[in-house]
Amino acid sequence: MTDMLIEFYPWAKALHIVSVIAWMAGLFYLPRLFVYHTEEVGSGNETDILFQTMERRLLKAIMNPSLIASWLFGLILVFTPGIVGWDFVWPWTKGASVIAMTWFHMWLAMRRKDFVAGTNTLTGRRYRIMNEFPTLLMLVIVFSVIFKF
């Protein structure tokens, strides 16, 4: 099993990076859709239904699969011998940030359900502020992995 993980390492790393890019794109775009949905669209009209469709498809067809792939290939990397030094701080900061990013993903999914139910109470300003959360987490992750504190 160890030999297989080592041989698969470049593929796992490449697939992890690609899936994270797709996931991050969705994490940046969905809150922006929520801003426009809140400020420009309203509810109960054709444009509301269009936005709900775009939000659902983004979440279900891009974000959810890329979340799963990011976790899958990330865990393969974690279990590949010689890749992660657990005596350093960086794997722990990266792990905590990935868990926080996953929480944010789930928070966005709950907010999408609010739009579907017509019960969204958050403002466009609040969605703009929350849109910065994945950027901060991305910085922690990238700096942790590159500098290996």
Dihedral over alpha carbons 18, 19, 22, 25 (to 10 degrees): -100
Mean pLDDT of 123-136: 96
Dihedral over alpha carbons 48, 50, 23, 65 (to 10 degrees): 120
3-49 pLDDT tens trace: 888 899 999 999 999 999 999 999 999 999 999 999 999 788 999 99
- Say if residue 149's pLDDT is above 90: no
Q: At 1, is the pLDDT very low, low, confident or very high (cuts 50, 70, 90)?
A: confident
Residue boundaries of the structural domains of the chain = 2-147
Picking from 63, 67, 40, the residue whose alpha carbon sits closest to that of residue 112 is: 63
70-121 pLDDT tens trace: 999 999 999 999 889 899 999 999 999 999 999 999 999 999 999 999 999 9
